[in-house]
Chain A
Amino acid sequence: MADSAPVKPVSQPDELTEPFFAAGEEGRLLLATCAACGEMRLPTSPTCPICLGEGFEWNEVSGRGTVYTFAVMHQRYHPAWEPDLPYNIAVVELDEGPRMPANIVGVENDDIVVGMPVEVAWEREGDAPVPRFRPVA
């Protein structure tokens, strides 16, 4: 066990987000649509932070957005990430409004710019789907 390769600590489904990650297995991006106000979000709780409504349903979206901001990590924080250094971390603003943290793939770090159009590109780490984004061709 002690010699096993370190594994990146990627996000696992919880009760609220099981459909989100299940869709990710199929390369699809879902957002939660509030039943009361219709705003779409990445749900961190059952409550809509805009209208405080409780119900929502999952809807597939285009997976397109833009780079709101990004940074390039040089510091070794976790051994599993060490081979990737320096790696980028972006915040992607989806066309529907929500922002999500994700790595940008398929582009050199030096070529990433704020405002760049991107689209979701699900990848896998171990047995878990991870939402990443690539530049729109």
Chain B
Amino acid sequence: MAHRLRGAAAITGLGITPMGRIYGKSSTDFAVDAVRLAIADAGLDKSDIDGLLINAGITGFSGGGVSLQLQNVLGMGNLRLLNHMNAAGSTAAQMVQYATMAIDAGMAKHVVCVFADAPLQQGGSSAAAYGNAGRRAGPSGILGLSAGAGHFGANTAYALAAKRHMSLYGTTQDQFGAIAVAERAWATMNPAAKMQDPLTIEEYHASRWIVEPLHLLDCCLVSNGAVAVIVSPPDQAKEMPQPPVWVWGMGQGHPGDARRAGDSAETETGARLAAETVFRMAGVGPEDIDVCELYDCYTYTVLVTLEDYGFCKKGEGGAFVEDGKLGPGGSLPTNTGGGQLSAYYMWGMTPLSEAVIQTRGQGGERQVEKHDLILATGNGGALSYHASLILSPHQN
């Protein structure tokens, strides 16, 4: 029995700015562009918008990120719903969840959810954009022990998690590579993807180490840009120009950061809790999902997420992905736009934006024929925060 809220709202607008190494714009500028695009895509007028949820990316931590001030930049003076949210990479899915609940409660009608970030600076590397945390002066106390061990940024945290999985279950570098190769194959069919050249497993292995067991090609891109979606109520969604993308399921799971014996969030992530909730609400199971759009900050994140949603047993993710089933023509099309590894890195908006495109049937060359149920996940921290949506072109 599906939940009462299944089909209670739909995503009706999508705005994706040009992204990548684009300079001269602040994340607020990018956010404005994405909101403008989303409103036009939805066939709405700015005055129709009465909800605004904002998520800054890494620049939200380091300063200069898009803030509540966006409301004033956009000149939205009659909002019934407003917040600036941050649960890292799980926020995009969460914004749609809270928008859906608010719409169902009658609090708002058309809610814009926007993510924007601009960490890349001209002449600066991706590592500089994301690894600066450890460079701040003065690590202290117990939390400072990480920096004191030369542990900089997310790459190390995910390398540690991936290594644990490899050790427990015999997961191999070839299996991580299969994910990178499959996603790149999808990216070659996505005009918006940053990485357009096909990738072989040999090229994957030849890419330099960042932090073992992660090669460069196990790690996501870093992008400047913004993505916005609009969530609307059923009666409106049915009359709007784009095919509605109905929210069937919503779930979250947040282990935080494991710090002691018995914790295992590195290999049994918050996706497990989220899976219970999202499948229960949608009234479906993993066997019903046609397409996965999974947060893929690293290849390993995809592998462990597939396990935690029950697409295969715990520990069998490596064997599951190794046959190429995630790629074009495979039995479980996954990250069909190339994901964060090969397309663009907009935190949880990368999987969500591609899920909207696929649910609408607007994927062009890469469109998956059967796309009745699509799982879109978001993950943040060091596998610390997780949220997901199940989306469908059918209201019921």
Question: Which residues of A pack against B, CB within 8 Å?
Answer: 8-14, 16-17, 20, 41-44, 49, 68-78, 81, 84, 86-87, 89-91, 93, 97-103, 113-115, 125, 128, 130-132
Task: Report whether A70 and B149 are in contact in the complex, using a CB–CB cutoff of 8 Å.
Answer: no
Stretch with Cβ within 8 A of A (4 or more), from B158-166, B235-243, B277-285, B309-317 = B158-166
The interface residues of chain A lying within 8 Å CB-to-CB of B262 are 97
**How far apart are B147's CB and chain A's nearest CB, in angstroms?**
5
A-B contacts, 15 listed (Cβ < 8 Å):
A9-B138, A11-B139, A12-B141, A12-B144, A14-B144, A41-B260, A69-B266, A71-B160, A71-B211, A71-B213, A74-B208, A78-B152, A87-B150, A101-B149, A131-B145
Task: Report whether B164 and A114 are in contact in the complex, using a CB–CB cutoff of 8 Å.
Answer: yes
A49 to B150, CA, bound (A): 26
Question: Which residues of B pack against A, CB within 8 Å?
Answer: 127, 131, 134-153, 155-156, 159-161, 163-164, 167-168, 208-214, 258-263, 266
Task: Report whether B163 and A70 are in contact in the complex, using a CB–CB cutoff of 8 Å.
Answer: yes
**How far apart are B220's CB and chain A's nearest CB, in angstroms?**
14
Task: Report whether A74 and B209 are in contact in the complex, using a CB–CB cutoff of 8 Å.
Answer: yes
Residue ID in chain A nearest B131 by CB atoms: A77
Partner of A99, one of B137, B147, B258: B258
Task: Report whether A77 and B152 are in contact in the complex, using a CB–CB cutoff of 8 Å.
Answer: yes
Partner of B142, one of A44, A81, A114, A125: A44
Residue ID in chain A nearest B130 by CB atoms: A77
Instruction: Evaluate whether A13 and B140 lie within 8 angstroms (CB atoms) in the complex, with A69-B161, A93-B261, A103-B150 already known.
Output: yes
Instruction: Evaluate whether A42 and B142 lie within 8 angstroms (CB atoms) in the complex, with A75-B155, A77-B127, A78-B135 already known.
Output: yes
Residue ID in chain B nearest A42 by CB atoms: B142
A75 to B208, CA, bound (A): 9
**How far apart are A124's CB and chain B's nearest CB, in angstroms?**
11
The interface residues of chain B lying within 8 Å CB-to-CB of A93 are 260-261
The interface residues of chain B lying within 8 Å CB-to-CB of A130 are 148-149
Instruction: Evaluate whether A9 and B135 lie within 8 angstroms (CB atoms) in the complex, with A89-B160, A101-B149, A130-B148 already known.
Output: yes
**How far apart are B356's CB and chain A's nearest CB, in angstroms?**
34
**How far apart are A120's CB and chain B's nearest CB, in angstroms?**
12
**How far apart are A65's CB and chain B's nearest CB, in angstroms?**
9
Partner of B150, one of A8, A42, A70: A8
Partner of B143, one of A41, A44, A77: A44
